[in-house]
Structure 1
Amino acid sequence: MSILPDFPPGPLDFYRTKSSFDWKKMKIFLDTEDGVQFEKEISKKLQTHPEFQKDLTCEEMDEQRRISFRRHLYNIRSGILSENQFFENFARANVSSRLMLQLCPCAAFRFATGSLFTGVLRSQGGEQHQEILQQAENGDIIGSFCMTEVGHGSDIKGFRTTATYDKNTDEFVLHTPDFEAAKCWIGCMGQSASYAIVYAQLYVDGTHHGLHMFLVPIRNPKTLLTYPGVVATDMGEKIGVNGMDNGILILDKYRIPRGNLLNKSAHVTPDGKYVTAHKTRKEKNGAALGILSLGRSKTTLACETTAGKALTIAVRYAAVRKQFGCGKEEQPILEYQAHQYRLLPYLATAYTTRIFGMFLLETTYKFIWDVFMGGDKEYLNALGKEIHVISSASKPAVGWVLRDAIQECREACGGHGYLKAAGIGNIRNDNDCNMTFEGENHVIIQQTSNWLIKLWPEVEQGTEISTPLHSVDFLSKASEILKSRFKATTIDEVCTSDNIMAAYQWLVCYLLKETALKYHTLIQKEGEFWARNNTQVYYAKSLSIAFVQNFMLQRTLVTINQAPDVYTKAVLLKLFSLYGLWSLEKFLATLYEGGYAHGCQPSRLIHEAILKLCSDIKNDSVSLVDAIAPPDFALNSVLGASDGQVYKRLERELFRNPYNLSRPTWWREMINWNTDHSKNKL
């Protein structure tokens, strides 16, 4: 396949020649031929463009921001990144955003912030907002999205920023009552945003109408100085992603025109009449929060993209690094069972998340487009809820596992992995924000369990359950599923998709039954709020994780069965089984507790199957990371380059830095230490 060149020969050939599949066919299956060609074209541009030659992490924070802004602007105006492309050519948009996240996370996050701003304007705004939308899409202005407050994050009902309509002036008066109500952690607010979408509690003639979104001018686009009544301050240096200027916004009785209310769902007339298409505040808040499903879907895939970069480094290094052996010949550490178990289940997780995440993100974009085009409201309402609960579980569940994957990759590379030049430290720091933004994980995952618990009465009644994405259709047969038991008697049987899916469906049904029972028992004693709170650990959280893992497996299997190449399909099925069993292993106690498993055989078979799958995938692992790896210039690691020349690159890195070969500027302090100390000069 000429579209993808061969990797340079080197130490990694030892495993590449053993691969059971063609990595090029795998990459094309994942990204499409058009996507791969587009990635090749933009990689050539980025690799040679002057804006992308510096290592941001070696620069001062102000310079990091300048460079990341210039990269972001280049990406938009060159057509490398475009929000519209997600609607028009998802494959191209996916590979370009993926590459940018691997190459320059700061520029990628700037684009994501801008996409959130333009996405809200497009889906919730009106004709009067189109000029600002066009300017933002062209990169002429920078927009931000203001939701979280200092004192309230995921608890949106507690937001305290207000917008009061003044019909005497035909304006909204936006106000931050105190510091706890200040909008915070706003991307691009610290120094660069000219406009913001602000969530505020709307009041008209003393009546509270709940949360609404407003287009708010923040800075003069020509001077970047804030307007009177606006305080915008940077939040300072962070653990990572310092090329992004996160900030705080405080509004002091700040007036904006009535037309700046985003009026897709509701508007206020000049004489102060509130008009909405929604019947309840709950429905209205749901519409306002719909855009967050997109952010959570993107974060799910971003975790995989970042972890995939770390796994590329760790697996390639494991294939080259040799230690110990039973004879004179040392063995690559990838040959050792413990090392396979450390890395390969995470590689299986990355592949499963990659396939599922692309499905979820593409589905979410299609949903947004259908809403914009005015599709079937009843169907779209049901679909929107389902996307919301799936993304509210996938973001935490995937994030937690792949966060651990990155740390395991760092440790699996030993001392060399601790070097900045290895690249994993920056990956870990930049990924960490994915654990928090778009909703705190332990809070948003409750959205999923709450939805599932509400379905339980229907399940008990035997009602036919069907949702647009079919994530819970199997609950229609819950009574039969709960009677089923672990049937596999061999390792091969344990690894089949039928047995894995059967175990997961039982697990979800059992956890749903137990969680609903616990919740309804407590609600009579403690009330709804505390009953929900005291049902989280061991019940609701586990239910949400099992539910989303089951759906990930379900959707991944659909995609795998579409693979045109038999060898690609075969290795993907092994990854499916490894992810399924490795994830199921965390629920072994529950399988025994509920009676699905009995005796020692189920746990032994699952453990043995996981180790066998790791061993079976071992020879394919280098080619598997080859199919998802970024180009070497984006990987930027002395340990993980595609030529496998770890020690040559390590030597070059250590001796090219003048500081590494020099004595410190304060060397005289070292040699005069004893003398100075005796004279009490320190």
Structure 2
Amino acid sequence: MSNLISDFKPGPLDEYRKRASFHWKKLKIFLETEEIIKYQNEVYEVLQSDPDYSTNNSSRTFDDERYLAFKQALALKTLKIFSLERQLSDLKRNNTITRIMVSLNPASFIKSTVGDKLFTSSIMNMGTSRHSKYIDDSNNGKIFGCYCLTEIGHGSNARGMRTTATYDKQKKVFILNSPDFEAAKCWAGGLGQIASYGTVYAQLILDGKNLGLHAFVVPIRNPNTLLPYPGLVVGDMGEKLGLNGIDNGFLKFDNYEIPRENILNRIADVSEDGRYVTSIKDPNKRYGAALGSLSAGRVNIACICETLGLKALTIALRYAAVRKQFGPEGESEIPILEYQSHCLRLIPYLAAAYVLRNFNDYLSEQFFEFMIETMTGNVRPDAPEMGIEIHGVSSSSKPMAGWLMRDAIQESRETCAGHGYLKASGIGDIRNDHDANLTYEGENHVLVQQTSNWLLKLWPLVLQQKSISSPMKSTDFLTNGLNILKNSKFSARNIDETCQPDTIISTYQWLVCYLLKSTANKLDDEIKSGKDLFTAKNDTQVFYAKNLSIAFIQHFFLQRMLVTISKAEDPAIKNVLTKLFSLFGLWALEKYHLPTLYKGEFVVGPMASSLIQDSILKLCLDLKNDAVALIDAIAVPDFILNSILGSSDGMVYKRLQDSMYRNQYCMNRPPWWREVVNWKNNITNKL
């Protein structure tokens, strides 16, 4: 292991490292595998030796941010170590690259993935052989692509988008138009300054009839000059809260013509004489297939959320193990990690990050295997069901990951107190960069409705006691839904029983069944009261459908964590992972679902609430001495972490001093110092 994973330098963190109940290197190998760790080491060596990836905390100009992100995004296309072939040879490499590059510079990674790679994947998914040249040109660096779905006036409501593509039979071209600025495409990464092509979604108009949203490959700029073509108004959206390395842009069409062949025609095509040809007759299914590539974005963003959250937690927990404040009268100060309140603020989020990391590895592997099978024509028998389940699961896993890690990052900032507010701590940039995850590829509160809509379709099967099965087995327990509702009660009598995985899993299964029943009944009542379906669904979200989606995905997180725990042969690793499982499960129950447990009479009286809270505190205490080692097992190297508070050597105060002394403003007189002096003299004269 010493050849594969380097030891940390001795320092203030040794005290907690010696207390750990497990060997952090063994845990790292269990989680990553030796092959992936070797690959990580290769990547780290490349990044550390490349000047384009050197990191510092100094502020950059807007243009410097853009240029740096472009150079790093280009490296992702050109360096062999990042090649798609290497990632597909072991699908865990895909998340490995995501975690490393997001930790280093999320803007450059997202510029590459949500911009350029989403462009090529959309062509792979929706195009045919006649579009392969665009994929080749993108992979060879001849063009840079973008993905244009959202409009100024419509985001989540894709059906309401107003860009049109009208087919002209005489010219054999599609004519793209934006009726007004509200219909301009926007937020596409790469569109603002560098994209030469884009996948553009528009309402297909044939003989005056609107056939719904379809995708087209659209030339935007001359690849040799980066100047836009006539008929287009394209520009940059300007400075954002974070991720300013990404050139998000807007695009407006004015009778802009593209060849007929540029429609992505795997789902539907238009013949030369203007006939509409499609293998999917149902327009709703056709619409869903057209937007299927968005699942890739949601799966990837959940991993980005987890990565940014863990980066902040690495900083906060290492800092907490070094920072000392107060202590018993007459004795030495103690690390702030020893305080119960501090543990409760951070360690449940560490548990959440571990559970989420495990789930992201599973879902990514399932999704990319599914996509490879689809693209190669080796379609599995349950492909439609798998596609539906991926959509339903990712529509709640992405929001849940975003919300959990948003709170983890904010808590990390606050637990580092004043020093955490310094730019050099790194947490402020993490917070700003993460914020976009709560919105793009689907606004979270809209997305979770997709999950509840899918689950509600299963309720009649539960009532009929029919077998329910899904490829990833996320819903299989609903087969026994009526029995779960009838016979399940909280029966734990002490902390040990409360922390048992069976107790926690059975509680979540009851929650999902109860919320599914409650949501279905609520929706039915709203409809019977005379409301139309849209209004009825709208009035069933709060306390019902949204909570259903949250409980469902939390149960699936835990379900997959148990599968991983069962594979651990080392008792110490199995033990610590089980504690993380139990802490996340109970903490999420207390945070999100305790009122529902009482409302549905799954629990009665104060004992259950007290047991859950006492168990959370006990698990935080049990994991306190393991927290640093748990971070060590999954943290990125210091040159990528880039924080004066979170370095692996624990030398917080030395790095604070160095940072303050090195900053360009440290001991300089301001260039406007004479105004200060004159202002003082003027005041003195007036007095």
TM-score (norm 1): 0.98
Structure 1 residue runs of 4 or more that deviate by more than 3 Å after TM superposition: 54-57, 82-86, 375-378, 674-680
Q: Does 2:258 correspond to 1:260? A: no
Q: Partners in 2 of 1:286 and 1:33 — Cα distance?
A: 39
2:662 to 650, 656, 659: 656
Q: Partners in 1 of 2:216 and 2:380 — Cα distance?
A: 24
- Structure-2 residue corresponding to 1:643: 649
SS in 2 for 1:637: coil
Q: Does 2:498 correspond to 1:497? A: no
2:361 to 350, 358, 361: 358
Are the aligned partners of 2:57 and 2:423 in contact in 1 as well (CA < 8 Å)? Answer: no
Are the aligned partners of 2:56 and 2:642 in contact in 1 as well (CA < 8 Å)? Answer: no
Are the aligned partners of 1:320 and 1:332 in contact in 2 as well (CA < 8 Å)? Answer: yes
Q: Does 2:630 correspond to 1:624? A: yes
Q: Partners in 1 of 2:85 and 2:271 — Cα distance?
A: 32
What amino acid does structure 1 have at the position aligned with 2:398?
K
Shift in Å, 1:377: 6.6
Shift in Å, 1:389: 0.8
Are the aligned partners of 2:176 and 2:253 in contact in 1 as well (CA < 8 Å)? Answer: yes
Q: Does 2:60 correspond to 1:27? A: no
Q: Partners in 1 of 2:293 and 2:287 — Cα distance?
A: 11
Shift in Å, 1:677: 5.3
Shift in Å, 1:155: 0.6
- Structure-2 residue corresponding to 1:389: 392
Listed as ranges, the gaps of 5+ residues in structure 2 are none
- Structure-1 residue corresponding to 2:332: 329
SS in 2 for 1:672: helix
Which has the larger displacement, 548-557 or 662-671? 662-671
How many residues were matched structurally?
A: 680
Are the aligned partners of 1:171 and 1:257 in contact in 2 as well (CA < 8 Å)? Answer: yes
SS in 2 for 1:247: strand
Which has the larger displacement, 389-398 or 88-97? 88-97
SS in 1 for 2:35: helix
Q: Does 2:519 correspond to 1:515? A: yes
What amino acid does structure 2 have at the position aligned with 1:657?
N
Q: Partners in 1 of 2:553 and 2:13 — Cα distance?
A: 36
What amino acid does structure 2 have at the position aligned with 1:582?
W
SS in 2 for 1:232: strand
Are the aligned partners of 1:36 and 1:95 in contact in 2 as well (CA < 8 Å)? Answer: no
Q: Partners in 2 of 1:7 and 1:142 — Cα distance?
A: 41
- Structure-1 residue corresponding to 2:346: 343
Are the aligned partners of 1:574 and 1:613 in contact in 2 as well (CA < 8 Å)? Answer: yes
Which has the larger displacement, 592-601 or 78-87? 78-87
SS in 2 for 1:663: coil
- Structure-2 residue corresponding to 1:183: 185
Q: 1:460 to 1:532 in 2, by over 3 A?
A: same
SS in 2 for 1:588: helix
Are the aligned partners of 1:172 and 1:258 in contact in 2 as well (CA < 8 Å)? Answer: yes
Q: Partners in 1 of 2:129 and 2:379 — Cα distance?
A: 22
Q: Does 2:82 correspond to 1:77? A: no
Q: Partners in 1 of 2:358 and 2:454 — Cα distance?
A: 25
Are the aligned partners of 1:34 and 1:92 in contact in 2 as well (CA < 8 Å)? Answer: no
Shift in Å, 1:56: 7.6
Q: Does 2:556 correspond to 1:551? A: yes
1:246 to 229, 245, 248: 248
Are the aligned partners of 1:72 and 1:107 in contact in 2 as well (CA < 8 Å)? Answer: yes
SS in 2 for 1:279: coil
Which has the larger displacement, 558-567 or 313-322? 558-567
Shift in Å, 1:555: 1.0
Shift in Å, 1:207: 2.4
> Cα deviation per residue 1:574-613 (whole Å; 9 max; x = unaligned)?
1000000000112111001101001111111100100000
- Structure-2 residue corresponding to 1:301: 303
- Structure-1 residue corresponding to 2:595: 589
Shift in Å, 1:95: 1.4
SS in 2 for 1:164: strand
Shift in Å, 1:349: 0.3
Which has the larger displacement, 459-468 or 402-411? 459-468
Q: Partners in 2 of 1:80 and 1:182 — Cα distance?
A: 38
Which has the larger displacement, 671-680 or 394-403? 671-680
- Structure-2 residue corresponding to 1:158: 160
Q: 1:446 to 1:323 in 2, by over 3 A?
A: same
Shift in Å, 1:83: 4.0
TM-score (norm 2): 0.97
Shift in Å, 1:71: 1.3
What amino acid does structure 1 have at the position aligned with 2:211?
H
Q: Does 2:18 correspond to 1:17? A: yes
Shift in Å, 1:85: 4.1
RMSD: 1.4
SS in 2 for 1:136: helix
Are the aligned partners of 2:268 and 2:277 in contact in 1 as well (CA < 8 Å)? Answer: yes
1:287 to 286, 289, 292: 289
Listed as ranges, the gaps of 5+ residues in structure 1 are none
What amino acid does structure 2 have at the position aligned with 1:607?
Q
